[in-house]
Amino acid sequence: MSVTDTHNAYDFDADVLRDKYRAERDKRVRDDGNDQYLEVKGDFSHYVDDPYVEKGFDRDALTEELEVLVIGGGFGGMLAAARLIEQGITDIKIIEKGGGFGGTWYWNRYPGASCDIESYVYLPMLEETGFVPRQKYTDAPETLAYCQVLAEKFGLNDLALMQTEVVSTEWDEATCRWTVTTNRQDNLKARYVVHSNGPLNRPKLPAIKGIGDYKGHTFHTSRWDYDYTGGNSHGGLDKLADKRVAIIGTGATAVQCVPHLGAGAKELFVFQRTPSSISVRNNQPTDPDWLGTQKSGWQNERRTNFESLMTGAPVKEDLVSDGWTEAFRRLFGQLRDEAPSKLKIAGWALGGAFDKNMYQLGPKQYLMNKAMKHMDIERKIELADMANMERVRARADEMVQDKATAESLKPYYRQFCKRPCFHDEYLKAYNLPNVHLVDTDGQGIDEFTENGVVFGGKEYEVDCIIFATGFEVGTDYSRRAGYGISGVDGLTVSEKWSNGLSTFHGMHAKGFPNCFFFGPAQSAFTATYTFSLDENGIHLAHILSEAKKRGATRIEASAEAEAAWVQTIIDKARLTADFQSTCTPGYYNNEGHVNVAPQNNFYGGGPIEFFKLMKKWRNGKLEGLEVRN
């Protein structure tokens, strides 16, 4: 039976698909949720050793007073420092556990590593640096090289303490400074501390029977062992020619490295629990003439245009025009035709749709209108989503010769339940005779042995197991950061947030003066993560330059401002939980346990609305912050 609405006729049975999605979800939800993963410490800590530095680095411990200490040398930390320097605040140090700048891009150098957000929006400050990315989608080596361009432009290399891990940060009320200690015995007294430690920085492993027993070679994708595999981020894994290799996981990382593993390994076994959606990527070389003709402000305009499309906000044209924007245009386009200026769709990827004007009517009227209109809107979005996913599933049939393998590679969930992938070689890799998909039908592998991996009663003996099992999300903030944070009267962030996040603008927290968080939530969620990081940097620089003008030494969110902001987040987070509870488990929906406190969400009005709100707030008054000299 086909489904028809006023705009589109779809050639699928929505009820059948809905049932299928539910069944696929139900068979994956596990009681242990996030506890199915093992914390990478103790016997497993070698999984996070840095393979990219020479062993034996040493330096003298530092004892120093300084103005701003930035924790994290990824894009967030770099942009924080750059934006501060632009405002004349230069007494800065950046602590980074890796051997260089780059954060995500420092660690994730696996073969094929690349960003599928367009480089012209992803790489921040392109106008300031004049850098021209080689392609529409930049790869990991170019991104890492760009981090050095930024570092040199702003003199960040001189400010950095590399290969250094923060151990603790403690507030000292008497001096109004943070005492920061490190694993290199540094003792730093910083007026301000910026926590930019990355949302996906801590690798995770499946807590499966026998994981400690395997005797072969093993590593996580974020610590790729090129000594073992040969080759580099561009591929050429020549040392695997006589090796049988297993890769666990088929998320965005695995999708990029599987084609290279397939090309290099004697035999490759890909253990899949849930297939990713794989759409067209179509990378293209950059036309330097085009970049040269862009007017001042083009990058901000372009990334704003992109993120607006991601949230269904009206735009005159689609500047980026790629797989992401096409998916969203298909989801939301027809709705805009119906209510051109009124409709506002909340939450990229989150499926929640609401009419902003309805929201402004007040709770009762809002609920009545919502009930009537929301069903209609939601249904249209759902059907458009199903149509998008039918295209994704058809692509598996087109590209994969073996019918059973093609079937296994078809994802049955709504596209933004999981991180969508864009790749033109991944599906084809399964046509190679040495590449074998082991479809665990949503259950995951059974156990490890000394020799390999067991699934369905069969042992797959391999020389090497590669974990493409992702990163911790949703665990305790300090655990993910890797250090403790103790504020006023010794209150820790873990204690403060034990029942749910509580911040002002996602950046400040009462009880943690002079402390700035980049990204735990309650701020903007952007597909282009560097966009939010840059906005964070701009916001921080405004606050600290105002504080400097006033000769302030202590800045803290007021209890009232924080409570009001938490309420705003709750009010705006209304519909996402409904959507997420229909999704297959993953880190987007707390592994299927959508019981998170509503305040743990990002700002539900979407990033562009959030950025406008922050820009308006930056009027020099620092409202909501208690500023003391």
Bridge partners of 203? Answer: 471
* End-to-end CA, the chain: 71
* Closest separation in Å from C-beta 628 to ligand NDP: 40
Among the listed residues 73, 251, 487, 592, the single contact to ligand NDP using CB under 6 A: 251
* Closest separation in Å from C-beta 479 to ligand NDP: 17
Q: Which is nearer to ligand NDP, 283 or 305 (CB)?
A: 283
* Closest separation in Å from C-beta 599 to ligand NDP: 23
* Contacts to ligand NDP from residues 415-434, by CB under 6 A: 419
Q: Are 309 and 118 in contact (CB under 8 A)?
A: no
For residue 233, state whether it binds ligand NDP (rule: CB under 6 A): no
Encoding tokens for residue 270? 């890909």
Q: Which is nearer to ligand NDP, 254 or 462 (CB)?
A: 254
Q: Which is nearer to ligand NDP, 154 or 214 (CB)?
A: 214
| Mask for 182-221, x = binds ligand NDP (CB under 6 A) | ------------------x-----x-x-------------
Site of tokens 């003996």: 461
Among the listed residues 116, 139, 322, 385, the single contact to ligand NDP using CB under 6 A: 116
Encoding tokens for residue 562? 């924080």
For residue 268, state whether it binds ligand NDP (rule: CB under 6 A): no
* Closest separation in Å from C-beta 44 to ligand NDP: 15
Contacts of 117 (CB under 8 A, 6+ apart): 137, 306, 324, 527, 528, 529
* Closest separation in Å from C-beta 116 to ligand NDP: 4
* Contacts to ligand NDP from residues 60-99, by CB under 6 A: none
Q: Is the dihedral of CA 391, 424, 533, 73 positive or negative?
A: positive
What crossing angle do the helices spanning 14-26 and 375-399 adopt, rounded to 10°?
80
Among the listed residues 252, 291, 491, 596, the single contact to ligand NDP using CB under 6 A: 252
Amino acid sitting at position 351: G
* Closest separation in Å from C-beta 234 to ligand NDP: 15
Which has the closest alpha carbon to 29: 621, 617, 586? 586
Q: Which is nearer to ligand NDP, 24 or 378 (CB)?
A: 24
Which helix (H) or strand (E) segment holds residue 427: the answer is helix 426-429
- Residue 425, classed as helix, strand or coil, is coil
For residue 63, count other CB atoms closer than 10 A to its CB: 10
Q: Are 354 and 609 in contact (CB under 8 A)?
A: no
Q: Which is nearer to ligand NDP, 439 or 535 (CB)?
A: 439
Contacts of 42 (CB under 8 A, 6+ apart): none
SS3 for 156-177 is: HHHHEECCCCEEEEEEECCCCE
Q: Which is nearer to ligand NDP, 322 or 355 (CB)?
A: 322
Bridge partners of 486? Answer: 170, 492
* Closest separation in Å from C-beta 467 to ligand NDP: 8
Interatomic CA distance for residues 517 and 509, integer angstroms: 8
Burial 227-246 (b: 16+ CB within 10 A, else e): ebbebebebebebbeebbbb
Q: Which is nearer to ligand NDP, 164 or 229 (CB)?
A: 229
* Closest separation in Å from C-beta 405 to ligand NDP: 16
For residue 273, state whether it binds ligand NDP (rule: CB under 6 A): yes
- Phi, psi (5° rounding) for residue 182? -130, 170
Q: Alpha helices of 274-420 — where are they, by DSSP H?
A: 288-292, 298-310, 323-338, 356-359, 363-369, 375-399, 403-408
For residue 250, state whether it binds ligand NDP (rule: CB under 6 A): yes
Site of tokens 């499946």: 206
Q: Which stretch binds ligand NDP (CB under 6 A): 161-169, 210-218, 253-261, 537-545?
A: 253-261
Among the listed residues 164, 197, 274, 304, the single contact to ligand NDP using CB under 6 A: 274
Which has the closest alpha carbon to 253: 44, 435, 108, 429? 108
* Contacts to ligand NDP from residues 456-515, by CB under 6 A: 468-471
How big is the site for ligand NDP, counted in residues (CB under 6 A)?
26
| Mask for 579-608, x = binds ligand NDP (CB under 6 A) | -------xx---------------------
* Closest separation in Å from C-beta 291 to ligand NDP: 21
For residue 253, state whether it binds ligand NDP (rule: CB under 6 A): yes
* Closest separation in Å from C-beta 176 to ligand NDP: 38
Q: Which is nearer to ligand NDP, 470 or 606 (CB)?
A: 470
* Secondary structure E strands in 548-629: 554-557, 625-628
Q: Which is nearer to ligand NDP, 271 or 611 (CB)?
A: 271
Q: Which is nearer to ligand NDP, 254 or 608 (CB)?
A: 254
The CA-based angle 566-580-271, given to 5 degrees, is 125
Contacts of 306 (CB under 8 A, 6+ apart): 117, 118, 121, 319, 320, 324, 325, 527, 528
* Closest separation in Å from C-beta 231 to ligand NDP: 18
| Mask for 96-115, x = binds ligand NDP (CB under 6 A) | -------------------x
Q: Are 547 and 627 in contact (CB under 8 A)?
A: yes
Q: Which is nearer to ligand NDP, 81 or 349 (CB)?
A: 349
Residues that bind ligand NDP (CB under 6 A): 115-116, 200, 206, 208, 248-254, 256, 271, 273-274, 419, 440, 444-445, 468-471, 586-587
